[in-house]
């Protein structure tokens, strides 16, 4: 078996690259360890930035998204029992899109496999990469039906297997530099079968910890609660969850949150990493495989899409025209936006968690940041641009 490109992982990054390659009639094989049903339902991200939606649209991948996604123009900060609206669209002319990740993945896998005729194997095991520093790399995996090991020869491997994948372990330690940062906090990530309690995203800064409210659809709302890292979801029975959410997001002039059945409850330890460079020989990493951004600033899927646009276009240029400039500049082009979003995530984390840190000095500087956001038009504009991912390609 030979494919010009093997893509490991059918998440937003891998499927977008696959679609770009198939649109240019480049053959590729996607290898995914889960079932198709599983990846089409896995709940995660929801916020997509305007430039990323336009990038998908230019590649014929946004038809359903543009028809069904909601546009968000404001967010609201709640602290001290009061609420403060922040109209980022009015300031910048740009809005956010809310389209749950499983819907985007469903669109991308349908387009790739059913419309553009891309090859994909689900439920594969034991993916391993070989001879990446030669012109003839290969990928092996165990076929789920026969239990036989398969060997796929290729020209390039796209490592898109997320934060827990195997492709980045193929980078020799002396060739890849990994920067890590641990926030030392956890977030209890919740999905509630309850309509949103506001028309926009809410950030609650409370001495008991941060709480977030993110509308996902008219029926489903994502909530977050700051908790100790490594906390167990079992420590959070439903009534404790709702009591904390009501306390941390409660304000004087709004009714309590609309409650509903909790259909997801898991603890995320907040940490980041960046691998530099994102390339080793014929292996190109994209998305969470190369860099993780804790969901603090809702940036991970957007970065995965940025990498995928750059890598998909660069592979097409090389494989159809022999033009290697995109591949040569790939890692540096991605890392500019990656580091910009990492820095914003750190900044925003302090806004979310400073008041609950137990340190009165940090609580004081956090409240100063918030007051500046609403008191200074320049500070408001700077926040809005970073929140929306505008102008990140410096």
Q: How far is the CB of 139 from ligand FAD (least distance, A)?
A: 10
Q: How far apart are CA 155 and CA 8, in angstroms?
A: 14
Q: Which of 53, 119, 154, 160 contacts ligand FAD by CB under 6 A? A: 160
Q: Is 165 in the site for ligand FAD (CB under 6 A)?
A: yes
Q: Return the range that interacts with ligand FAD (CB under 6 A); candidates 163-171, 235-243, 321-329, 354-362.
A: 163-171
Q: How far is the CB of 307 from ligand FAD (least distance, A)?
A: 8
Handedness of CA 201, 107, 304, 167 (dihedral sign): positive
Q: Is 120 in the site for ligand FAD (CB under 6 A)?
A: no
Q: How many CB atoms lie within 10 A of CB 102?
A: 17
Nearer to ligand FAD, 223 or 383 (CB): 223
Q: Is 31 in the site for ligand FAD (CB under 6 A)?
A: yes
H/E stretch holding 291 reads strand 291-292
Are 347 and 382 in contact by the 8 Å Cβ rule? The answer is no
Query: What does each C-alpha distance from 83 to 249, 283, 358 come to in angstroms?
Result: 9, 48, 22
Nearer to ligand FAD, 6 or 319 (CB): 6
Q: Is 46 in the site for ligand FAD (CB under 6 A)?
A: yes
Query: What does each C-alpha distance from 364 to 78, 296, 354, 356 come to in angstroms?
Result: 16, 21, 8, 11
Q: How far is the CB of 173 from ligand FAD (least distance, A)?
A: 19
Q: Which of 3, 5, 7, 14 contacts ligand FAD by CB under 6 A? A: 14
- Residue count (the chain): 394
Are 68 and 99 in contact by the 8 Å Cβ rule? The answer is yes
Are 152 and 3 in contact by the 8 Å Cβ rule? The answer is yes
Nearer to ligand FAD, 166 or 363 (CB): 166
Q: Report DSSP state, residue 163.
A: T
Q: Return the range that interacts with ligand FAD (CB under 6 A); candidates 115-123, 156-164, 195-203, 357-365.
A: 156-164
How many residues bind ligand FAD, per CB under 6 A? 36
Q: Which of 298, 316, 370, 392 contacts ligand FAD by CB under 6 A? A: 298
Tell me, rounded to whole angstroms, the distance of Cα 247 from its chain centroid. 28
Name the residue among 115, 136, 182 with its Cα closest to residue 353: 182
Q: How far is the CB of 270 from ligand FAD (least distance, A)?
A: 11
Q: How far is the CB of 313 from ligand FAD (least distance, A)?
A: 17
Name the token pair of 361: 């000095």
Nearer to ligand FAD, 254 or 276 (CB): 276
Residues 78-97 as x/- pattern, contact with ligand FAD by CB under 6 A: --------------------
Q: Which of 5, 6, 7, 8 contacts ligand FAD by CB under 6 A? A: 8
Q: Return the range that interacts with ligand FAD (CB under 6 A); candidates 37-45, 171-179, 323-331, 364-372.
A: 37-45
Q: Is 7 in the site for ligand FAD (CB under 6 A)?
A: no
Residue with tokens 């659809």: 217
Q: How far apart are CA 320 and CA 53, in angstroms?
A: 26
Nearer to ligand FAD, 119 or 127 (CB): 127
Q: How far is the CB of 371 from ligand FAD (least distance, A)?
A: 27
- DSSP assignment of 51-110 equals HHHHHHHHTT--HHHHHHPEEE--EEEEETTEEEEE-HHHHHS--EEE--HHHHHHHHHI
Q: Which of 5, 26, 127, 245 contacts ligand FAD by CB under 6 A? A: 127
Are 101 and 264 in contact by the 8 Å Cβ rule? The answer is no
Q: Is 47 in the site for ligand FAD (CB under 6 A)?
A: yes
Bond before 48 cis per omega within 30 degrees = no
Q: How far apart are CA 74 and CA 7, in angstroms?
A: 37
Q: Is 13 in the site for ligand FAD (CB under 6 A)?
A: yes
Q: How far is the CB of 214 from ligand FAD (least distance, A)?
A: 7
Name the residue among 343, 389, 390, 373 with its Cα closest to residue 77: 373
Nearer to ligand FAD, 14 or 354 (CB): 14
Q: Binding residues for ligand FAD, per CB under 6 A? A: 8-14, 31-34, 39, 44-47, 101, 124, 127, 160-162, 164-166, 189, 268, 287-288, 295, 298-302, 304
């Amino acid at each position: 078996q030979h494919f010009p490109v093997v893509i490991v992982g059918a998440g937003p990054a891998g499927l977008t690259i696959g679609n770009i390659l198939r649109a240019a009639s480049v053959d590729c094989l996607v290898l995914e360890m889960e079932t198709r049903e599983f990846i089409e339902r896995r709940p995660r991200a929801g916020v997509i930035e305007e430039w990323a939606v336009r990038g998908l649209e230019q590649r014929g991948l946004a038809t359903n998204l543009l028809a069904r996604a909601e546009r968000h123009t404001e967010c609201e900060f709640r602290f001290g029992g009061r609420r403060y609206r922040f109209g980022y669209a009015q300031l910048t002319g740009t809005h956010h899109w809310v389209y749950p990740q499983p819907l985007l993945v469903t669109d991308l896998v349908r387009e790739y496999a059913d419309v553009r005729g891309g090859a994909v194997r689900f439920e594969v095991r034991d993916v391993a990469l070989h001879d990446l520093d030669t012109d003839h790399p290969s990928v092996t995996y165990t076929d789920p039906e026969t239990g036989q090991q398969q060997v796929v020869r290729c020209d390039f491997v796209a490592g898109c297997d997320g934060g827990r994948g195997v492709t980045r372990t193929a980078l020799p330690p002396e060739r890849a530099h990994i920067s890590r940062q641990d926030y030392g906090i956890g977030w209890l990530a919740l999905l509630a079968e309850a309509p949103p309690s506001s028309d926009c995203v809410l950030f609650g800064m409370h001495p008991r910890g941060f709480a977030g409210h993110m509308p996902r659809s008219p029926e489903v709302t994502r909530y977050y609660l700051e908790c100790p890292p490594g906390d167990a979801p079992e420590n959070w029975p439903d009534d404790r969850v709702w009591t904390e959410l009501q306390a941390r997001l409660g304000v004087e002039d709004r009714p309590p949150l609309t409650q509903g059945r909790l259909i997801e409850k898991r603890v995320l330890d907040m940490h980041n990493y960046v691998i530099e460079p994102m390339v080793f020989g014929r292996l190109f990493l994209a998305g969470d495989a190369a860099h993780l951004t804790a969901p603090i600033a809702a940036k991970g899927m957007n970065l995965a899409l940025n990498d995928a646009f750059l890598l998909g276009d660069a592979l097409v240029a090389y494989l159809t025209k022999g033009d290697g400039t995109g591949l040569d500049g790939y890692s540096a082009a991605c890392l500019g936006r990656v580091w910009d979003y990492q820095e914003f995530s750190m900044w925003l984390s302090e806004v979310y968690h400073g008041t609950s840190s137990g340190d009165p000095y940090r609580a004081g500087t956090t409240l100063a940041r918030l007051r500046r956001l609403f008191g200074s038009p320049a500070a408001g504009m700077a926040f809005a641009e970073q929140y929306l991912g505008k102008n990140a390609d410096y």
